[in-house]
Every structure is written in C-alpha cells, then in structure tokens.
Structure 1
Amino acid sequence: MTETGDVGTASKRGGGPWWWARRRGMALDVGLAAASAVECAFEGVRFADRADVPAVPAVLLGILVGAVLVLRRRWPIAVVLVAVAVTPAEMGILLGTVGLYTLAASEVPRRIIVLLAGMMVGGNLIITFLRVHESVGRDPTFDPPEWFIPLVSFAASIGFAVPPLLLGLYVGARRRLVVSLRERADGLERELSLLADRAEERAEWARNEERTRIAREMHDVVAHRVSLMVVHAAALQAVALKEPEKAAKNAALVGDMGRQALTELRTMLGVLRTGEGSGAATATEEDGAGAAAGTGTARLARFTGGAETVPPARSTTTDGGPTLDGLDGLLGESRLAGMTVELSVHGERPGTGYAARVERTAYRVVQEALTNVHKHAAGARTQVRLAHREGEVALQVENEPPARGTADAGLPSGGNGLVGMRERVTALGGVFVSGPTDAGGFRVSAVIPQNGA
C-alpha cells in the first residue's frame, strides 16, 4: 500500500517504528487517533442517552473505536469497516472521513474501494434519512415535499463520503506518478551512467586504435628508409677508400633518403595536428614531401644513368598517402641498395581505380615486405607480383634464400612488421598470408577488396 507502505519497506527506509516510514507520520496518526477517540467518546455519551444504556460502556466503546484510526496506514480496510459498523451509533465521523481518504490513496484494488465507499454512503444515507424524518416529524408546522427528505439525506451522505474519496484518489494517483517518475529518473540515470561507461570504453578503444595506427604509420615511414640508409651506410664504409666517387654517390643517396624520411614524418605529424592553421601546415608539408620525392627520383635517375624507371607523377593519393603508382620508385630504392628485385603486373587497373586506403595499404605491404628482405635476407633475389582482379587487388612479395656467406644486415627488428601488415589488410576486409617457402625463402601475400571493407 503506497499510503502506508509495509513493515519491511518502513524498516528498510529506517524511519519511524513499526509500519510508519517516518516519525512525523506516526505523530500525525497518533494525533488523529486521539482526536477521533475524544469525538467517539462524546458521541458515545449521546448514543447512551438515546439508547438508554449505561454511559461508561458507550464511552469506552467510543474511545476504542476512535483509537482504531491509528492503524489507518497499516490496515485501511479494517478502519473503514469499523467506521461502517459504528454508523448506526452515529459516531466515527472523523474515523470514517480519514479512513476513506486513506483507503482511496492506498494500493487497494479499485473494486474494493468502491464497495466500501458504497457501504459507507448507504449506511450514512439510512441514518441521515431516519434522523431528518424524525426531525421533520417533531415540527408539525413544517410540511416539506416528499422529495425533500430523500434529497437531503442523499446530499448529506454524498457530501460526507465523496470529497475524502476523490481527494484520496487524487493523492494516490499523484503519489504513484511521482514514484513512477522517480523510478524513471533513476533508470535514466543508470542508463546515462552505463552510456558514459561505454563512451569511456569506446574512447579508450579509439585512443588505443589511434596509438596503434600512429605506431604503424611511424614504422612504415621510418623502417623502410632507415633500413635502406643502414644498407647504404655499410656500402659506403666498404668503398669509402677504394672508390671515392661511388662513396660520394652513396653518401648523397643516404642524405636524400634521410630527408625523405623526415619529410614523411612531418607530413604525418601535420595531419595529426588540430586547431587553427593545421590545414595550411599540412598542405605545406605535403608540398615538401612531393618536392623531396621528386628530388629522390631525379637522383635515382642520375646515379644510374637513367636506367631506373622514373615513377609516374601520380604517386600519392589526395590525402598525401602513397599509391601503387609509386611502386617503381620504391623498388628502385631497393635496387640501389643491392637487392635484385623484379616487378610483374597482371591484369588491368580498373577504370574507377582503388580507394585511397586500399592503395595506401597495398603500397605499405610491399614496402614492409621489402624492408624485411633487407633485414633478414640481404641480397636475396625478390619477386614482386601485382594482380588487378575483378573487385580486388592481389599482392605477393617472395624472396629467395640469401646467398651463402652473406652477412646479416644487422638491422634491429621489433617483430611488428608482419603484425602491422595483417592488421592493415584485415581492417579492409582482405586476406593476408605469410610464411616460409619450400625453397627456404619467405613469401608475403595479400588480397584486398577494391573499395575496402
């Protein structure tokens, strides 16, 4: 019962004793019960005079009946039934009014409330009718119409029962609405808390993904060129005294590769910047990257007497990333480092081209595979195959085992190259396979959908 609550609820809330939720409610009920007991005791004296019975038992009965009001929050039905039972004695006005209000405001089923309210209206109607009829009969000068006594009796009974009944129904409905809104607010608060936790988890996941992506980009940008720089530095050391001209060319090439690596790093960091001016900075750095790439290509052609194929002008995507058109330049750098590498292309590039992320991923796979050859199989013959298929592009980089007696390049390896390639390819819905070949070499294969996942 909402008005009263139950003993367990009250004890959980830690308010007043027994069934009261608050001490204030207990004080109110005790006060109402005391007032009802005084009223019923006074009415008991009048009942004793009318019924010609001893006054003391009638007064004690009135006190006991009036005190029942203290139970209104715990047993409102019992309180109303007692009020109906003492209606013939014309006592319990406060008891009936407060009891009916409490019953209507409680969680008792509506049909029970209507039944008990009807009993109270009926009892009051009968008693009021008899008393009005008796009063009219005492005055011979007053001759009201026939409808007067029933109308007055009905109006008095309705006026006694309906106002507390309606007020109780209103209070009960309002209380239930407040409870419902509070529960809904609590539910929304829990949902918001859950959403906040999930948002935090998603933010943490996004941060981890971004850190992984940045680390992968840093690895792709730095590892390949630095590996080539180490290889050229070793060659430079070997020929520095014997072939000064060749040593000078190697030194210039190492310098170009270092500048290109730094330019690519600045370009990537410029993309990561936020705030005003970031767009201009990124554009400037991308221009620098293009200039550096052009310088490196020119040097490749000059150092080899024009034997190297100059990469096409379109070697980057609209977002500054590398594309498959830049593979010739990438392979040319490896050839200058002493690697025998061949490129074979099968099929025709689709007219709509590939998505920028697909081009970038395919380029990075080849780049990382060549870097691994420089690290672990220096000087090994390598075959790069590129196949344009319907709806996808396939790549394969396979190297033969290094020649006997070939010294290891001594390049450090973090063990993340293959992991990074696999992550890139699978993120686009592709398939990545790597492993040793039967001949003792190593093969890296990837198939990437044309537009990515």
Structure 2
Amino acid sequence: MNTSGEETTAGGGYRLWWWTRRRSAALDIGLALVSAAECVMQGLNFAQRTGLPPVLVALFGIVAGSTVVIRRKRPLTVILIAIAILPTTMGDVLTVVGLYTLATTDAPRRLVGALAAAEAAGSFAVTLLLLKQDPGLDAQPMPAWFRPLVAGIFAVVLVVPPVLLGMYVRARRRLVESLRDRAGGLERELVLLAERAEERAEWARGEERRRIAREMHDVVAHRVSLMVVHAAAVAAVAPRDPEQAARNATLIGDMGRQALTELRTMLGVLRAADKPLAAAPPRPAPTGPPANPGPQAVPPPEGPALDGLAALIDQSRAAGMSVDLSVEGEPRGYAEPVESTAYRVVQEALTNVHKHAAGAAARVRLAHRDGEVAVLVQNDAPAGAQVPGARLPSGGNGLLGMRERVMALGGGFVSGPTDGGGFRVSAVIPDRREPSGA
C-alpha cells in the first residue's frame, strides 16, 4: 500500500481506500467538487441575507459539500449533513446524491423513506419561507396556495427522483447478482455432471471388460475341458480300441473348430471397434455393458439359446459323462440375455463336473415358470479315480461369473455341496423380455 492510500491487489486490481475502481474515485471526487461549489454559491447568498462573514460561510460550504466524497462509505452521514444544513439553503447536490446512494444500498426502506420525508419537509419549509420573504412576489397579486404549491413541487423534485432511481438500481443489482449466482450454480452442476459422466464411462468400460472375460471363460473353459477329457480318453483306449480312439479324436477336432469359431466371432467384434468405448451412460438393460451410442458402435454377438441345451448335453455325454435332462413347463422364448445366461449356467456347471468330478453322473433340470426360468445342475460324488491326464486346472472364476450373470438380471443364484458329496448349482432368472418398440 502506498502512503497516498492507493493499493494494488494480488490480482493487479485497483484499490484506493473504499474505491475499487479509478472511475468510481474520479466520479465521487468530481461530485464533491460540484457539491462544494454549489454550497459556496448558496452560502454566499445566505451570508448576504443574514450578514454573516462570507469567508466563514464559504469555508463551511466547502467542508459540507465535500462530504459527498464519502457517499459510498457513509451514505447515511451525507444525508444527515444535508438535512442539517437545510436552513442555509445549501446542499441540493448533497441531498440528491446522498438519497440516491442510500437507496441503492441494503438500508431498510423505512429508513430511506423517513430520511426522504424529513428532507422533503425541511426543503418545503425553507423554500416556503424564502418565497414569503421575496419582495418581488409580494408586489404581485397571486392566490394563497401558489407559494405552498411551488415549495411542494421543489421538495418533491428534489427528493423523489433520486430515491426512485436508487431503488431501481438496487433492484437491478440484486437481479444481476441472482443471475450470477444461478450461473455459478449451473457451472458447478455442469462440473458435477461431467464428473458423473466420466464415472459412468469408467463403469461402462469395466462392465465391458467383465462381460468379455465371462464370454471368453465360458467358450474356452468348456470346449477345452471337453477336449482335454477326450484327449485323455484317446490316450487310454488307443491301444485296445482304435475305433473308439478315432471317434474321440474326431470329437476333439470338432470341439476345437467350434471353440475357434466362437473365439473368432468375439475377436472380430473387438477388432471392429478400434476406438475405445465412448463415454456414454449405461442403458437400463438387465445385463451387459451400455452400448456405445456413436455410429461406430458394434453390438455384442448374440449369445447361445436354450434350444441348444440338448446339443450341449450331448457333448458332455460324448465325453463319457452320464447326464440326465428334464424339462418342466411349456417351453417358450425368452429375452436373449435370459436365454444366454441360463445356457451359460448349465455350460459352466457341466464344465465344473468335468474338472472336479470326472465320472460322476449329473442331472440337469430346466423349469419354465410364469415370468421366470429356473435351471438346476447337480452331480453325484465322483466314483473311482480319474482318467490319467484328465485332471483340469481351475481358475476359480466359474462360479463367480455365473453369479454375476444371474444377479445382473435380478435373479437368484445358489451353489454348494450336497449331503451325498456332490455339488449343486441353481439359478432362477426372471424373464426380462422388453416390450415391442422399446
């Protein structure tokens, strides 16, 4: 801060005492000079009428008129000084500027009205007294109401316009401040929406990664598990039954080709979308990630359906597993995610039987109910030792993937060992068929 009272803020802004802009300081100083000059001229007339020393009255007028310079800091002081010097007929500029400034502040309206009324009453009285003392008016015949009318008009013109203008400016400032606050609130909301959009995009990317991982696990684990079982069987029966070994080798080739076909399908979809997932909010679909809304979005390939369940079970039977299939209720079509999930549950459960209970008999139950479909896969305890080389590694993700699929559709999933030493996997999936045109 300089010794003159001028400051420079950290942002390079201007500050001199209570002024924050040079233009405001220049305006107030100019008004103070005008007010002081007006007070001096009116004061000299007052000194001529009363016989007071002109120099003393002029100095008083300069001091009183210069108080306009503090109108932004102390508007109430300016008004009180203007009311106090009313008998000297000085301070018209002081009155107008002070009332306007006070009306633009947050001062109570009652206070502004009371001071304006006091100023108007004092101005009316002083003007009426001057009119009565004017010898020129006394020499002219005029009605008795003329002088009060002129004094009243002068008082109203002096007080009402600055008060009304100040109240208008005050209301306008409040409106601008409210609009600025609303704009700030909208800006903050936009920032929050952008953050939430980024979170939704990250969630969508995670869901897509999990979906791809589940699909890859289902395709690879089941097909490769059957291939390993058949390969072990080939090694076991080749010396004594070449024809059976040839059949098993043929099955291995068929399963390998099927696995490659499914893998190529999924990899083709992934290669078709060279760009990363768009930051789009997830659709309220029951399963799967939100689709990329852009023109390059490629929907995921349609999953398997329940009508392929018999072929899936035949593959397990061909691998030497005893599988019994029972269907309850009237078969009907379900939404694609529902059929795909039910199929994958049965597929993964049979894969687990191949891995952990080779040689055990299994039962698959499919129940069509009102508004839902239920699947149950249960196997007995494994009987005897496994075929050498048929033991399969396990990553521990099969049950987790099944649970995620079923829970994503709002269904229920239960798995665990049975009393007889076997294992049971049960899932109830609600039908999420979308209405036509949805």
- Structure-2-length-normalised TM-score: 0.82
Aligned counterpart in structure 1 of residue 320 of structure 2, from 322, 328, 338:
338
RMSD (Å), alpha carbons: 2.8
Q: What does residue 328 of structure 1 align with?
A: 310
> Which residue in the other structure is 1:448 paired with?
429
CA shift for structure 1 position 15: 4.7
For the Cα contact (< 8 Å) 1:11–1:18, is it kept in 2?
no
- 339, 344, 365: which is aligned to 2:345? 365
In structure 2, the partner of 1:37 is: 36
Contact 2:131/2:137, CA 8 A, preserved across alignment: no
SS in 2 for 1:260: helix
Cα distance in 1 for partners of 2:426, 2:395 equals 21
| Residues in 1 aligned to 2:153 and 2:160: alpha-carbon distance in whole angstroms | 10
Letter in 2 for 1:330: L
> Which blocks of at least 5 consecutive residues in structure 1 are unaligned?
1-9, 276-318
Asked if the contact 1:375–1:408 (Cα under 8 Å) also holds between the matched residues in 2, the reply is no
Higher mean displacement: 18-27 or 194-203: 18-27
Give, as a single letter, the amino acid of the residue that structure 2 aligns with 1:29.
D
Partner of 1:422: 403
Matched to 1:223, the amino acid is A
Shift of 1:334: 0.7
1:413 paired residue number:
394
The Cα of 1:11 is off from its aligned counterpart by 11
- Per-residue deviation, residues 121-143 of structure 1 (Å, max 9, x unmatched): 222222222223333x3256532
Q: Which residue pairs with 1:46 in the alignment?
A: 45
| Cα shift at 1:269 | 5.0
TM-superposed CA distance for 1:264, in Å, is 2.4
3-state SS of paired residue (1:53) = coil
* Equivalent position of 2:67 in the other structure: 68
CA contact (8 A) 1:224 1:367 kept: yes
Question: After superposition, what is the alpha-carbon deviation per residue over 1:304-331, rounded to whole angstroms, capped at 9, x for unaligned?
Answer: xxxxxxxxxxxxxxx7432222211111
Answer yes or no: is 1:209 the counterpart of 2:224. no
| Aligned 1:47-446 pairs, distance under 5 A | 47-135=46-134, 137-139=135-137, 142-240=140-238, 242-269=240-267, 273=272, 320-345=302-327, 347-349=328-330, 353-406=333-386, 407=388, 409-446=390-427
* Letter matched to residue 188 of structure 1: L
Instruction: Extract unaligned runs of 5+ from structure 2.
Output: 1-8, 275-300
Give the letter aligned to residue 382 of structure 1: A
> Whose RCO is larger (CA < 8 A, sep 6+)?
2
Per the alignment, in what secondary structure is the counterpart of residue 349 of structure 1?
coil
Q: Distance in 2 between matches of 1:61 and 1:12?
A: 41
Distance of 1:452 and 1:433 partners within structure 2:
23
> How many Å separate the matches in 2 of 1:204 and 1:56?
82
Counterpart code for 2:78: V
Structure 1 segments (4+ residues) deviating >6 Å: 10-14
Contact kept? 1:377, 1:408, Cα under 8 Å:
no
- Match of 1:343, SS? strand
Quote the Cα distance in structure 2 between the aligned partners of 1:58 and 1:68. Answer: 16
**Percent sequence identity over matched residues?**
61
Amino acid at match of 2:396: G
> Which one has the bigger helix percentage?
1
Paired residues, what number? Answer: 398
Report the AA paired with residue 403 of structure 2: R
Q: State the Cα distance separating 1:218 from its structure 2 match.
A: 1.9
- Please state how far the C-alpha of 1:430 moved relative to its aligned partner: 1.5
**1:268 CA drift (Å):** 4.0
Q: Is the 8 A contact 2:406 2:413 kept in 1?
A: yes
Deviations 1:60-107 (A, max 9, x none): 322222232222112212211211221111111221111111111111
TM-superposed CA distance for 1:335, in Å, is: 1.1
Length-normalised TM-score, structure 1: 0.80
For the structure 1 residues 368 and 271, does the alpha-carbon distance in structure 2 shift closer, same or farther, using more than 3 Å as the test? Answer: same
